[in-house]
């Protein structure tokens, strides 16, 4: 399409041409799809105990360890849904005491973000606290999550103690299948030996 500017010069609108994936990109995607299909079959449908352990592992890595409040913060709605399902399934929760706070860059749609995280967590917007609006800094990052980062909290000392007890139980060596702890230790030792620096003066 040809257009003319005020000086009578022709200007052409450049249309972005979508490049087709090359051979390596196609092979990469094929491997990802194959592994995903295999992994879905391997995981299957979670039993109640599977969900319990998965939620404990999720909280061990991402949950707040501060006493008195169970809090989980993440920008991934799938992780947030899993956490909320786990919390409701295994603990007696007073839904009216759950609170959500959003971390959202300035310039992004706050109302849309509230609707999004309310749908993900099942917490009504009336239980959302004042959001934190971050000022974008291009020198740090350019990618921004459209709906920001959600943080859901439930203030209850007993519940937090129960959660941390499960975390400690999961991370203890007693929770591992017989022989797994010893195998992991041997592999760690072998990795250190193989990767260790040579003794000074050794050839």
Residue 186 included in any domain: no
Residue 32 included in any domain: no
Q: What is the spatial distance between Cα 49 and Cα 30, in angstroms, rounded to a whole number?
A: 33
Predicted confidence at residue 122, as pLDDT, reads 97
Let me know: does 162 contact 133? Beta carbons within 8 Å. Answer: no
CA-closest candidate to residue 73, choices 58, 60, 84, 62:
62
CA-closest candidate to residue 96, choices 116, 117, 74, 122:
122
- Give the CATH number of the domain where residue 136 resides: 3.30.1330
Residue 149 included in any domain: yes
Map residue 130 onto helix, strand or coil.
Answer: coil
Let me know: does 160 contact 97? Beta carbons within 8 Å. Answer: no
Residue 25 included in any domain: no
Per the structure, the count of domains in the chain is: 1
Residue 181 included in any domain: no
Tell me the pLDDT tens digit for each residue of 123-179.
Answer: 999 999 999 998 877 666 655 688 999 999 999 999 999 999 999 999 987 778 876
Predicted confidence at residue 43, as pLDDT, reads 92
CA pseudo-torsion sign 173, 69, 63, 76: positive
Residue 67 included in any domain: yes
Residue 190 included in any domain: no
Tell me the pLDDT tens digit for each residue of 61-105.
Answer: 999 999 999 999 999 999 999 999 999 999 999 999 999 999 999
Task: Say if strands 98-105 and 132-134 run parallel, antiparallel, or are unpaired.
Answer: parallel
Residue 29, pLDDT > 60, answer yes
Residue 60, pLDDT > 70, answer yes
Residue 26 included in any domain: no
Q: Residue 108 is part of which domain span?
A: 44-172
pTM: 0.73
């Amino acid at each position: 399409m040809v257009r003319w500017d005020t000086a009578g010069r022709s200007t052409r609108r450049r249309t972005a041409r979508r490049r087709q994936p090359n051979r390596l990109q196609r092979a990469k995607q094929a491997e990802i799809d194959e592994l995903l299909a295999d992994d879905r079959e391997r995981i299957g449908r979670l039993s109640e105990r599977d969900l319990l352990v998965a939620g404990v592992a999720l909280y061990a890595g991402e949950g707040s360890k501060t006493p008195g409040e169970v809090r989980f913060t993440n920008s991934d709605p799938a992780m947030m849904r899993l956490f909320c399902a786990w919390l409701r399934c295994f603990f007696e929760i007073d839904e009216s005491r759950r609170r959500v706070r959003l971390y959202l860059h300035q310039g992004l749609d706050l109302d849309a973000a509230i609707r999004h995280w309310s749908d993900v967590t099942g917490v009504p917007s009336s239980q959302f606290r004042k959001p934190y609006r971050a000022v974008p800094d291009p020198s740090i990052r350019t990618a921004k999550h459209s709906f920001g980062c959600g943080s859901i909290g439930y203030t209850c000392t007993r519940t937090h103690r129960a959660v941390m007890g499960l975390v400690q139980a999961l991370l203890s060596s007693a929770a591992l299948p017989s022989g797994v702890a010893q195998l992991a230790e041997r592999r760690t030792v072998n990795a250190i030996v193989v990767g260790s620096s040579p003794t000074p003066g050794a050839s």
